[in-house]
Structure 1
Amino acid sequence: MEHVIRSVRADEWPLVKELRLAALRDPAAPMAFLETYEQGAAHSDEFWQDRALGASAAGSGDVRQFVAVAPDGRWDGGVSVLIERPDAEVRFGEAVDVHQAHLVGVFVRPGARGTGLAEELLRAGTDWAWSWAEPRIERVRLYVHEDNARAAAFYRRIGFTATGRSVPVPGDPSVQELEYAVERAV
């Protein structure tokens, strides 16, 4: 693969912003993200600086964003990983009684789709989660809009299974986000 998969650095906030706004412009964005392009574009530079810092190795440690960097420096995709602890506030979905990682913001630019890039990004995120010694991460989860069959099929293909848990989409309780997870191998 010609892309380099790595975590973001705090000073790369303009690229973090550009990738997120590209994701929010994607036709699948209404099913894939809980934010509109207009909401994302309205955030201040300080917001994006804080977001990049928090998702970098220099941040709190509980969040990491991985990106796929093309040879020309363009970011062609990304995923963020949130470490969730049973005794902490749940950011989205239901709480569970184990330490887990939550994958969010999965995006690959249309021109890079079908190349294995999404799988490599998810592998980097899950490998990072499994590398935690304390707390030991027992499962990695993500949520998929109930109408996003393409994404659900992809996640199943790489080993995620539907857990049977779901949560209503914020702003539209008639639609569900379905939880998929992969459990830690012993």
Structure 2
Amino acid sequence: MDPEVRPAQAHEWERARRLRLEMLADAPQSFGDRLEDVRTWGRERWRARLASALMDDSALLVAVDVDGVWVGQMAAREYLHPAPARVWLLEVYVTPAHRSSGLAEVLLSGIEAWTLDRGHHRLHLDVHEDSGAARSFYLRMGFVESGRTQPYPLDTTRRELEMVKDLP
């Protein structure tokens, strides 16, 4: 049975924690946290982190298996400043067992619909320069590199590349 894709819920902070720890162990350069730091976070920090992802300016879609385990997620946030307002794709992850299953495409479709519902026709993201599989996925999904880069926050000798996708 395919995982169910739906919005995350505020009480699911423990599921969010489990998946975040997996994400950081699996792809440490792809996210802005260090696994050793995140392991020390307490319950209230995890609840606040999830609550932030569920605010009105944000979307957090999760893929949930039949046992209730999160096996993927994708988030977006609308940033009003600096102008013009933009929507950024964030927190993209699918567990290894569900990769190449079409799940990432389903999650992205939901985020694109949310972006359009917010009145935006462009989706932005930053991807680590060494994340070849992620970059390939984004290119396949219609994103293009904008030419803008910035230092990767956890290692400023490395870069993050901005990619954008125009939505219909």
Report what 1:67 is aligned to: 62
Residue 49 in structure 1 maps to residue 32 in structure 2: no
Please say which of residues 104-113 and 136-145 is displaced more in the overlay: 136-145
Once the two structures are aligned, what percentage of the paired residues are identical?
35
Query: Hey, what's the Cα distance between the residues in 2 that align with 1:20 and 1:83?
Result: 21
Aligned-partner residue type, residue 123 of structure 1: S
Residue 103 in structure 1 maps to residue 89 in structure 2: yes
Secondary structure (helix, strand or coil) at the match of 2:151 reads: strand
Select which of 170, 178, 185 maps to 2:153. Answer: 170
Q: TM-score with structure 1 length normalisation?
A: 0.84
Query: Hey, what's the Cα distance between the residues in 2 that align with 1:46 and 1:30?
Result: 23
Select which of 101, 104, 109 maps to 1:123. Answer: 109
Query: Hey, what's the Cα distance between the residues in 2 that align with 1:49 and 1:173?
Result: 29
Query: Hey, what's the Cα distance between the residues in 2 that align with 1:78 and 1:31?
Result: 17
Select which of 33, 36, 42 maps to 1:35. Answer: 33
Select which of 135, 139, 163 maps to 1:152. Answer: 135
Structure 2, unaligned stretches of length 5 or more? none
Comparing both structures, which one devotes a greater share of its residues to helix? 2
Aligned-partner residue type, residue 4 of structure 1: E
Select which of 74, 77, 84 maps to 1:79. Answer: 74
Aligned-partner residue type, residue 148 of structure 1: S
Residue 183 in structure 1 maps to residue 142 in structure 2: no
Report what 1:14 is aligned to: 14
Task: Note closer, same or farther for the CA distance 1:171–1:21 as it changes in structure 2 (3 Å cut).
Answer: closer
CA contact (8 A) 2:78 2:86 kept: yes
Secondary structure (helix, strand or coil) at the match of 1:130 reads: helix
Query: Hey, what's the Cα distance between the residues in 2 that align with 1:54 and 1:30?
Result: 22
Offset, 1:82: 1.0
Offset, 1:121: 1.2
RMSD: 1.5
Query: Hey, what's the Cα distance between the residues in 2 that align with 1:171 and 1:50?
Result: 22
Secondary structure (helix, strand or coil) at the match of 1:155 reads: helix
